[in-house]
Structure 1
Amino acid sequence: MATGTPEGGKVPPEEQRLGPELRRRAQVKTSTTDQRLLDAVGPSDWVHTDPWRVLRIQSEFIEGFGTLAELPPAISVFGSARTPVDSIEYEAGVRLGRGLAEAGWAVITGGGPGSMEAANKGACEAKGTSVGLGIELPFEQGLNPYVDIGLNFRYFFVRKMMFVKYAQGFVVMPGGVGTLDEFFEALTLVQTQKVTRFPIVLYDSSYWGGLVDWLKNTLVAQGKAAEKDLLLFHVTDDVDEAVALVSKEAGRRAPD
């Protein structure tokens, strides 16, 4: 029999089972697992360790998969957070979001302002499914008011997985470094056949023309990519054509 009487006057048992764990004699604990969880106050350095980060990453994947698994077929729309609300570009984003929703697509954006807000607004006004996948940034502005289903991520790579996994195509509006990152990542995944090919449409030839020329006249010309790689994306100046292109390649007919 274990010696000593713990607080409360109860003598601990000779044998103790704690879930899968067995303890006997002097190894028997005098407190419960819940007590130790709720009462203990100790060092907090562990929340900044890599094993704990792995659990956070895992939780973001689980939350993302669980939230988005039942989405209808979707198109991801990328574009600048700096697009002014009163600009032609913003208005095109609204028409794009509306057109995609009317064609039966859910619309996924980064959830921020500018072109992302425009696409969400169009989808929302057309009674479609409007999704925003935000990211933790020092200048974070939160999800725009037209997002119906929203998630905020700590990690860029988890967020990127959600954009690709739950979309059947990409439409890329004029944007900055983040937009370029998303475009080239999608292009790389298709080019290397890491994903089943899906449509990628660049909207606004005046904006993307210089990049396309560089890809053709420098990248391909110097043998860093194949000429057929230029066929992996489309460029258009027409919102309806953008909707039709992603709809056709992804297997859904755009409305007449």
Structure 2
Amino acid sequence: MSETKQNGDYRKGPVVLRGSQRPDRTTDQNLLEETAPGSWVHSDPWRVLRIQSEFVEGFGALAELGPAVSIFGSARIRSEHEDYTKTYEIAKRIGDRGLAVITGGGPGVMEAGNKGARDSGAVSVGLGIELPYEQGMNQYVELGVNFRYFFARKTVFIKYSHAFVVMPGGFGTFDELFEALCLIQTHKIQKFPLILVGSEYWSGLLDWIRGPVCDYGAISPGDLDLIHVCDTVDEVDAALQEHCAQYRDGQRKA
């Protein structure tokens, strides 16, 4: 662990910890890993109140947000990367259509999305998470909510998003994509656009799903119809156009 990461801010809900006060374990680790037989009986019921507060705070902060599009992607790209520029332009187009933009609030693709939203005059939202690294809201977030628990944060993403735009990214990006796919496939939420940006990046994953996964019978052939694959800003804009028009007419996702 580098000195910068070790000595930087560690955000735990509303609390900021530095130096020797930085914890070795995240709140999610403490919740999900049983440390001693029977110990959860004494500690976990109290955690329920903290979890409840995260839902209350998240729902309260975004209750009047209106239609929004969430953008996901790698936190590791820099501002000179072509995907940073593309994300900025996509977010700006989304904002120009009168929709808010929601990201994870961090660097890379998330920063580009928040910057594009802000520059378009749309509401720029960041949903942060307690992590050992990559913490803190980028400077372009105008409405930010920090979460301790991933599942609370993911619920808020789903509840207030009317489309997902998924840029190239890693495990966190895959997690958000497949959770949305699962919820739509199982009719837990109403279908909404899932747009993957970058056919070359996503082709290997999609070929595997169309091939071995579908051939095995683990999914139905039509399940991949839930996904739109785009390469340009114009293609993403076109994929969202009809959906955005519905919300201008006052319709909302159930």
TM-score after normalising by structure 1: 0.78
Alignment of 1:1-256 (within 5 A): 49-249=43-243, 251-252=246-247
- Using the TM superposition, name which of 90-99 and 136-145 deviates more: 136-145
CA–CA separation in structure 2 for the residues paired with 1:122 and 1:186:
24
- Alignment-mate amino acid for residue 159 of structure 2: K
CA–CA separation in structure 1 for the residues paired with 2:206 and 2:192:
19
Aligned residues: 208
- Alignment-mate amino acid for residue 49 of structure 2: L
Contact 1:93–1:118 under 8 Å retained in 2: yes
Q: Sequence identity, in percent?
A: 56
CA–CA separation in structure 2 for the residues paired with 1:197 and 1:54:
30
- Give 1:241 shift: 1.8
- Give 1:113 shift: 0.2
- Give 1:140 shift: 3.8
- Give 1:139 shift: 1.0
CA–CA separation in structure 1 for the residues paired with 2:228 and 2:60:
32
SS in 2 for 1:201: strand
CA–CA separation in structure 1 for the residues paired with 2:66 and 2:234:
21
TM-score after normalising by structure 2: 0.79
Post-superposition Cα deviations, 1:7-42, rounded to whole Å, max 9, x if no partner, equal: xxxxxxxxxxxxxxxxxxxxxxxxxxxxxxxxxxxx
CA–CA separation in structure 2 for the residues paired with 1:248 and 1:232:
15
SS in 2 for 1:152: strand
- Give 1:252 shift: 4.6
Over the aligned positions, Cα root-mean-square deviation in angstroms equals: 1.6
CA–CA separation in structure 2 for the residues paired with 1:143 and 1:98:
19
Structure 1 segments of 4+ aligned residues over 6 angstroms from their partners:
none
Give the unaligned 5+ runs of structure 1.
1-44
CA–CA separation in structure 1 for the residues paired with 2:44 and 2:121:
42
More helix by share: 2
CA–CA separation in structure 1 for the residues paired with 2:50 and 2:58:
12
- Alignment-mate amino acid for residue 147 of structure 2: F
Give the unaligned 5+ runs of structure 2.
1-38, 249-254
Contact 2:67–2:247 under 8 Å retained in 1: no
